[in-house]
């Protein structure tokens, strides 16, 4: 496969607004955001008016928009960080780059500001190599290549459908870990992008991601809601569940997932010990999720992301639903999402500028 050429007008930057005052956030990102169209989705539970500085090409969606488009047709709650999925749904672009509103540009080891948008675009436009691990990491990067012993037939790679970035300062740890090490901040800048090998599972954080909406859109689902879910990442697992499904779908469809650069700087927020009370349930659930994904197989006839999610939802309901009702609800949400996507989302994605 050859390099994809991603134009600026093919990209939407989607931000879920959990803070009402986005002034600092937007201004910090301005040099990187200004070329692109933005979609800002306001958390339906946020009461205050959003404050957004001028100078951006954007659309803002609020609770009334969500209700109008989605209404009561779905059990999916677009609250908290899940509000960003509404942005994914209504986007008309081919690629989405999504970031939490408590992240600002990071600096690399040389002190330069990291253009996270450009890096995600680079990740998505170069092939991924999931079938064999390259020990010098991304072979398509400047100054790197495939190493001796890398089979030639695997060097053209596959399309990269998902790019997972990382975080300096407040890393995406779970509440128990951060509570145990309250002072720990991530200062290690690892200068690498790599493909996550096929069949390897990983926790995909929703804080700093980008994806090919056209190919993968329906697979990014706001499905798993915890009973005690809160507004902080520590208090949710929706992105982790979504990520497990997405990786599984990518493996099945022969698409690639990259991880590593870009880093963003994540601001300090919240209290891990307080969040522990809410997030405990999620931690337990992962123990069931892992053996499930290791053993589930989709039929070869599932050839699109939509097909895959429909098939996956069936198995989730059957096997995981029996373990915990949260999975039954997740399976329902997965099917709702595909229905929504077909009626709202896919119509939009066929429109390309």
Partner 1 sequence: MAQPAVIAPPLKDELDIVIPTIRNLDFLEMWRPFFQHYHLIIVQDGDPSKTIKVPEGFDYELYNRNDINMILGPKASCISFKDSACRCFGYMVSKKKYIYTIDDDCFVAKDPTGKDINALEQHIRNLLTPSTPFFFNTLYDPYREGADFVRGYPFSLREGVPTAVSHGLWLNIPDYDAPTQLVKPLERNTRYVDAVMTVPKGTLFPMCGMNLGFNRELIGPAMYFGLMGDGQPIGRYDDMWAGWCMKVIADHLGLGVKSGLPYIWHSKASNPFVNLKKEYKGIYWQEELIPFFQSVSLPKDCTTVQKCYLELSKLVKAKLGKVDDYFLKLADAMVTWIEAWDELNPLEAKPAELSNGASK
> 200-217 in b/e burial notation, b at 16+ Cβ within 10 A?
eeeebbbbbbbbbbbbbb
Q: Which stretch binds partner 1 (CB under 8 A): 19-27, 142-150, 210-218, 339-347?
A: 142-150
Nearest distance in Å: CB 290, partner 1: 5
Q: Which of residues 273-332 bind partner 1 (CB under 8 A)?
A: 283, 286-287, 289-291, 294
Question: What is the rounded distance in angstroms from the CA atom of residue 326 to the CA atom of residue 223?
Answer: 9
Told to check if 71 binds partner 1 by CB under 8 A, we report no
Residue from 234, 248, 327, 341 binding partner 1 (CB under 8 A)? 234
- CB nearer to partner 1: pick between 3 and 188: 188
220 neighbors 99 (Cβ within 8 angstroms): no
Nearest distance in Å: CB 151, partner 1: 5
Residue 201 CA, chain-centre distance (Å), reads 15
Residue from 201, 302, 310, 323 binding partner 1 (CB under 8 A)? 201
Question: What is the rounded distance in angstroms from the CA atom of residue 87 to the CA atom of residue 154?
Answer: 35
Nearest distance in Å: CB 323, partner 1: 15
Told to check if 30 binds partner 1 by CB under 8 A, we report no
Token representation of residue 232: 């902080």
Tokens 């349930």 map to which residue? 281
Q: Which stretch binds partner 1 (CB under 8 A): 48-56, 165-173, 327-335, 344-352?
A: 165-173
> Could you tell me how many residues of this chain bind partner 1 (CB under 8 A)?
59
Question: What is the rounded distance in angstroms from the CA atom of residue 88 to the CA atom of residue 84?
Answer: 7
Residue from 113, 173, 296, 348 binding partner 1 (CB under 8 A)? 173
Per CB under 8 A, residues contacting partner 1 are 109, 132-137, 141, 143-154, 164, 166, 171-174, 177, 181, 184, 186-192, 196-205, 233-234, 237, 240, 243, 259, 283, 286-287, 289-291, 294
């Amino acid at each position: 496969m050859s390099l994809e050429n991603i134009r600026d007008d093919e990209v939407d930057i989607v931000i879920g607004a959990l803070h009402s005052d986005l002034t600092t956030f937007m201004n910090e990102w301005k040099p990187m955001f200004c070329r692109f169209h933005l979609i800002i989705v306001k958390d339906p539970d946020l009461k205050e008016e959003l404050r957004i500085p001028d100078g951006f090409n954007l659309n803002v969606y609020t609770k009334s928009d969500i209700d109008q488009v989605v209404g009561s047709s779905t059990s999916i709650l677009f609250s908290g960080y899940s509000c960003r999925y509404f942005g994914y749904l209504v986007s008309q672009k081919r690629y989405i780059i999504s970031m939490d509103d408590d992240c600002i540009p990071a600096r690399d080891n040389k002190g330069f500001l990291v253009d996270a948008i450009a890096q995600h675009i680079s990740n998505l436009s170069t092939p991924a190599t999931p079938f064999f691990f390259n020990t010098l990491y991304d072979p398509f990067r400047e100054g790197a290549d495939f190493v001796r012993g890398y089979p030639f037939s695997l060097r053209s790679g596959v399309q990269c459908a998902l790019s997972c970035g990382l975080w300096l300062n407040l890393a995406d740890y779970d509440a128990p870990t951060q509570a145990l090490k309250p002072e720990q901040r991530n200062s290690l800048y690892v200068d690498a992008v790599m493909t996550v090998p096929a069949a390897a599972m990983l926790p995909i954080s929703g804080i700093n991601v980008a994806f090919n909406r056209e190919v993968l859109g329906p697979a990014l689902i706001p499905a798993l809601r915890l009973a005690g879910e809160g507004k902080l990442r520590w208090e949710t697992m929706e992105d982790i569940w979504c990520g497990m499904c997405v990786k599984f779908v990518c493996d099945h469809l022969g698409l690639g997932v990259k991880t590593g650069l870009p880093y963003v700087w994540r601001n300090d927020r919240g209290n891990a010990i307080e969040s522990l009370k809410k997030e405990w349930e999620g931690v337990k659930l992962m123990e069931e999720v892992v053996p499930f994904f290791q053993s589930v197989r989709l039929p070869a006839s599932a050839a699109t992301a939509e097909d895959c999610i429909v098939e996956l939802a069936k198995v989730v309901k059957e096997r995981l639903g029996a373990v915990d009702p949260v999975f039954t609800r997740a399976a329902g949400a997965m099917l709702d999402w595909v229905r929504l996507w077909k009626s709202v989302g896919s119509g939009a994605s066929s429109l390309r500028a």
